[in-house]
């Protein structure tokens, strides 16, 4: 045990991870210790990461961040889900929406009723029963209590800036400079201080590594190790480019599959973020750039930027007196926009286990146990999109379709295909609705379903399903367009 009281926390790095950590620690625990953040303008940030999931809205509420201020400052739009295009067979689309699909009963979830309806000629798509998806398709949006479950598309650079102002107003001290060396205690191996190129030395008891892929503390100094998942998630590169807005921003992200990867389209108020995630084994950087430039709607605002990564996770999210957040803790690729969520959940886990009176092995173990299981669950969900496909039109898709998958995913997929059942635990990010939407969307169709659905008489089933659809359709009819709502919400003084 390191029984030093924590009086000073040092955050290394000031991208989304660093400033989210600074904002939350200063707001929620800032009276208990000093916080210093070191960042280097010369190194800069990764400059991508602009789509989030609904937990970000809850995070902002926890910090008391005003949504309108945040959206104006970061030129955000609302996001209701992700539209997956060409993932199943190269000529298809489905949406993974943020809300519930239909209504459950205690014995079986909604997919059983939908499957029974399908068998009995009630032939509507699964997404006809999801309010968020229907609103997204109609390009509509509004806020109301018990209404749409949503998140945001945001400008990552402006978000870090916004959180910097917030954090500094809560007492965070920012130091500009490049970290050159890290000093450790010879006996315990704990980090004692970091040194900057200008000669400054910054001491602390707890260090948070937010230095992105560099992992300056967690890897370069502590040699924590990395579990490589690229045999399951083989994309290792991305090329990103921003373009001018030429049409109303869609309230959803587009994810368009290509022969060796997929393309994102993230609409903000003032511009659109575009990128191609690809596997360098099958596509060169140059060809990836050309493919992306061929598939964007308007002139690029800057030159395309290539980013290299390795999917996987740090062996420990917390090692010695250092906690890694953001890209320094691992990367699962951006398919389901989970990285910002993972930063947030890492911060909240750290706050719950915060070692005010010294670091104990049990707290570190608990953190790492939760860190591992959270990442493995999300990893499985992302692999599902690649593996469960009918596509075999390129070496990339042939590999993904035929690769060995984790046993946990194999079990979940087989259970769904054989019985229509999906079970998730309380701590898992993606719940039954998400798994069902993506499995059905990718073409996994169950052979059976729970017979609780068949106990209903045909006319009862018809009226049950019709009522859900009509309620959704009526609610969507009443919504303003996403653009109209944004104009009122973000541009009013």
In the range 236-255, which residues lie near ligand FAD by CB under 6 A?
A: 238
State both tokens at 139: 């390009």
Q: Rule CB under 6 A: is residue 340 a binding residue for ligand FAD? A: yes
Q: Rule CB under 6 A: is residue 317 a binding residue for ligand FAD? A: no
- Residue nearer to ligand FAD on the CB measure, 21 or 115: 21
| Closest distance of CB 17 from ligand FAD, Å | 3
59 in Cβ contact with 344 (< 8 Å): yes
The site for ligand FAD, by CB under 6 A, has a size of: 37
| Closest distance of CB 341 from ligand FAD, Å | 6
Sequence-ordered list of residues with C-beta below 8 angstroms from that of 330, at least 6 positions apart, any chain: 226, 227, 312, 313, 314, 317, 375
Question: Is residue 12 helix, strand or coil?
Answer: strand
Q: What residues does 237 pair with on adjacent strands?
A: 278, 308
Distance (Å, whole) CA 430 – CA 375: 11
Vertex 151: Cα angle to 147 and 156 (nearest 5)? 160
Quick one: which of 337, 436, 437, 483 contacts ligand FAD (CB under 6 A)? 337
Q: Say which residue the tokens 């006319």 belong to.
A: 459
Q: Rule CB under 6 A: is residue 307 a binding residue for ligand FAD? A: yes
Q: Rule CB under 6 A: is residue 305 a binding residue for ligand FAD? A: no
Tell me which stretch binds ligand FAD (CB under 6 A): 336-344, 357-365, 373-381, 481-489.
336-344
- Is 336 annotated among the ligand-binding residues? yes
DSSP characters over 423-465: ---TT-SS-HHHHHHHHHHTT---S---THHHHS-HHHHHHHH
Tell me which stretch binds ligand FAD (CB under 6 A): 206-214, 367-375, 425-433, 444-452.
206-214
Catalytic site includes residue 79: yes
Distance (Å, whole) CA 302 – CA 406: 39
Quick one: which of 339, 389, 437, 442 contacts ligand FAD (CB under 6 A)? 339
Quick one: which of 257, 296, 322, 327 contacts ligand FAD (CB under 6 A)? 327
- Is 32 annotated among the ligand-binding residues? no
- Is 14 annotated among the ligand-binding residues? yes
**Angle in degrees, 0-180, between the axes of helices 16-29 and 156-169, rounded to the nearest 10:** 30
- Is 340 annotated among the ligand-binding residues? yes
Quick one: which of 73, 179, 440, 472 contacts ligand FAD (CB under 6 A)? 179
Distance (Å, whole) CA 408 – CA 412: 6
Quick one: which of 275, 312, 346, 441 contacts ligand FAD (CB under 6 A)? 275
- Residue nearer to ligand FAD on the CB measure, 129 or 318: 318
CA 326 to chain centre: 11
Q: What residues does 36 pair with on adjacent strands?
A: 10, 173
Q: Rule CB under 6 A: is residue 304 a binding residue for ligand FAD? A: no
Distance (Å, whole) CA 303 – CA 400: 31
Radius of gyration of the chain (CA): 23
Distance (Å, whole) CA 124 – CA 459: 16
66 in Cβ contact with 129 (< 8 Å): no
In the range 110-129, which residues lie near ligand FAD by CB under 6 A?
A: none
Q: Rule CB under 6 A: is residue 175 a binding residue for ligand FAD? A: no
Question: Is residue 173 helix, strand or coil?
Answer: strand
Distance (Å, whole) CA 163 – CA 25: 12
Q: Rule CB under 6 A: is residue 52 a binding residue for ligand FAD? A: yes
Q: Rule CB under 6 A: is residue 335 a binding residue for ligand FAD? A: no
Question: Is residue 224 helix, strand or coil?
Answer: coil
In the range 144-173, which residues lie near ligand FAD by CB under 6 A?
A: 156
Distances (CA, A) of 445 to 104, 398, 433: 19, 20, 15
109 in Cβ contact with 54 (< 8 Å): no
Distances (CA, A) of 309 to 285, 327, 328, 409: 13, 10, 11, 23
| Closest distance of CB 22 from ligand FAD, Å | 11
**Options 79, 137, 140, 316, the catalytic residue:** 79
Quick one: which of 25, 38, 158, 444 contacts ligand FAD (CB under 6 A)? 38
State both tokens at 186: 């010879």
- Residue nearer to ligand FAD on the CB measure, 275 or 304: 275
Quick one: which of 10, 21, 22, 46 contacts ligand FAD (CB under 6 A)? 46
Site string for ligand FAD, 18-37 (x = CB under 6 A): x-------------------
Quick one: which of 23, 48, 347, 364 contacts ligand FAD (CB under 6 A)? 48
- Residue nearer to ligand FAD on the CB measure, 103 or 174: 174
Distance (Å, whole) CA 115 – CA 265: 32
Quick one: which of 22, 25, 50, 148 contacts ligand FAD (CB under 6 A)? 50
Q: Rule CB under 6 A: is residue 44 a binding residue for ligand FAD? A: yes
Name the helix (H) or strand (E) containing 277. Answer: strand 271-278
- Residues marked as binding for 7-chloro-L-tryptophan? 79
| Footprint on this chain of ligand FAD (rule: CB under 6 A) | 13-18, 38-40, 43-46, 48-52, 156, 178-179, 210-212, 214, 216, 238, 275, 307, 309, 326-328, 334, 337, 339-340
Instruction: Tell me which residues are annotated as active site.
Output: 79
- Residues marked as binding for FAD? 14-17, 327, 340
- Residues marked as binding? 14-17, 79, 327, 336, 340
- Residues marked as binding for L-tryptophan? 336
């Amino acid at each position: 045990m390191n029984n030093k009281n924590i009086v000073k926390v040092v955050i290394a790095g000031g991208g989304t991870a660093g400033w989210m950590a600074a904002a939350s620690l200063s707001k929620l625990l800032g009276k208990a210790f000093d916080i210093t953040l070191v960042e280097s303008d010369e190194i800069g940030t990764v400059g991508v990461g602009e789509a989030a999931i609904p937990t970000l809205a809850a995070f902002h509420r926890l910090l008391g961040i005003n949504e309108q201020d945040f959206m104006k400052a970061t030129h955000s739009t609302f996001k209701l889900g992700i539209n997956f295009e060409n993932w199943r067979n190269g000529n298809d689309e489905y949406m993974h929406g943020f809300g519930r699909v239909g209504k459950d009963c205690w014995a079986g979830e909604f997919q059983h009723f939908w499957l029974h309806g399908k068998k009995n000629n009630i032939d509507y798509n699964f997404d006809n029963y999801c309010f968020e998806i229907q609103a997204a398709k109609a390009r509509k949006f509004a806020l109301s209590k018990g209404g749409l479950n949503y998140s945001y598309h945001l400008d990552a650079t402006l978000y870090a800036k916004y959180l910097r102002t917030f954090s500094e107003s809560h007492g965070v001290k920012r130091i500009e400079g490049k970290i050159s060396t890290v000093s450790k205690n010879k006996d315990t191996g704990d980090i004692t201080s970091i040194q900057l190129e200008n000669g400054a030395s910054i001491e602390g008891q707890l260090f948070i590594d937010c230095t992105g892929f560099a992992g300056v503390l967690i890897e370069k100094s502590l040699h924590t190790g990395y579990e490589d998942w690229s045999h399951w998630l083989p994309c290792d590169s991305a090329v990103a480019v921003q373009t001018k807005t030429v049409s109303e921003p869609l309230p959803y992200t587009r994810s368009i599959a290509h022969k060796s990867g997929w393309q994102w389209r993230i609409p903000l108020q003032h511009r659109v973020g575009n990128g191609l995630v690809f596997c360098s084994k099958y596509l060169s950087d140059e060809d990836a750039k050309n493919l992306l430039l061929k598939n964007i709607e308007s002139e690029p605002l800057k030159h395309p930027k290539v980013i290299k990564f390795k999917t996987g996770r740090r062996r420990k999210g917390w090692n010695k007196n250092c906690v890694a957040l953001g890209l320094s803790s691992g990367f699962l690729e951006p398919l389901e926009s989970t990285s910002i969520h993972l930063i947030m959940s890492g911060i909240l886990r750290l706050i719950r286990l915060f070692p005010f009176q010294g670091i104990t092995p049990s707290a570190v173990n608990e953190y790492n146990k939760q860190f591992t299981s959270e990442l493995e669950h999300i990893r499985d969900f992302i692999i599902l999109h690649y593996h469960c496909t009918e596509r075999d039109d390129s070496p990339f898709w042939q590999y993904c379709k035929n690769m060995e998958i984790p046993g946990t995913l194999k079990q979940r997929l087989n259970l769904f295909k054989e019985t229509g059942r999906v079970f998730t635990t309380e701590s898992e990010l993606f719940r039954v609705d998400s798994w069902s939407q993506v499995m059905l969307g990718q073409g996994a169709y169950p052979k059976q379903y729970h017979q609780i659905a068949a106990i209903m008489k045909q006319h009862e089933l018809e009226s049950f399903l019709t009522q859900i659809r009509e309620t959704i359709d009526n609610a969507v009819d009443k919504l303003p367009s996403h653009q109209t709502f944004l104009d009122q919400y973000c541009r009013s003084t």
